[in-house]
């Protein structure tokens, strides 16, 4: 389910950013990304997202990330190595998988991630998990 189609979008305050590759929903302590069908998320796209996050949240705030994988797209799994950096804005992530293939890819990404990464079956599950993170409270 897309974030804007969920009941949560009506109860949470957010700012929407639309790029060629997809839509981003910026909330207080986390953001949700929905990449468009057939896209490839690589280093160039990551740099664009990091720039948007820094502009919105500043350079001293840390946030969690939810990948709401409502569409089929590819991602360079080595991108998770970026978050080993001391200046990383992300402290945790959740991948919402609606298909078995996406869940299997998330398993691989979890192994490559240096930050906590939860695989979720619903957007609600991912948001609830993020909102309970002690690092964000």
Give the chain's domains with CATH numbers: 3-136 (3.30.750)
Cα of first residue to Cα of last residue in the chain, in angstroms, is 26
pLDDT at 12: 97
User: What parts of the chain have a pLDDT lower than 70?
Assistant: 84-87
> What are the pLDDT digits (tens) for 108-131?
888 888 789 999 999 999 999 999
Q: Tell me, what's the pLDDT at 86?
A: 57
Q: For the beta carbon of residue 95, count every other beta carbon within 10 angstroms.
A: 23
> So what's the pLDDT on residue 105?
84
- Please count the residues of the chain: 137
CB count within 10 Å of CB 116 equals: 15
Find where tokens 């500043």 sit. 58
Q: What is the pLDDT of residue 106?
A: 84
| Per-residue confidence (pLDDT) for residue 25, from 0 to 100 | 98
């Amino acid at each position: 389910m897309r974030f804007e189609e969920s009941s949560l979008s009506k109860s949470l305050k957010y700012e929407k950013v639309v790029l060629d590759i997809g839509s981003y929903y910026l909330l207080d302590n986390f953001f949700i990304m929905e990449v468009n069908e057939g896209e490839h998320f690589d280093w160039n796209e990551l740099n664009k997202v990091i720039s948007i996050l820094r502009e919105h949240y500043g350079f001293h705030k840390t946030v969690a990330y939810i990948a709401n994988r409502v569409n089929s797209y590819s991602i360079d799994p080595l991108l998770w190595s970026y978050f080993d950096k001391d200046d990383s804005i992300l402290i945790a992530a959740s991948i919402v998988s609606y298909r078995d293939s996406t869940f299997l890819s998330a398993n691989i990404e979890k192994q490559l991630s240096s930050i906590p990464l939860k695989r979720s079956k619903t957007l609600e599950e991912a948001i609830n998990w993020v909102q309970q993170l002690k690092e964000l409270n």
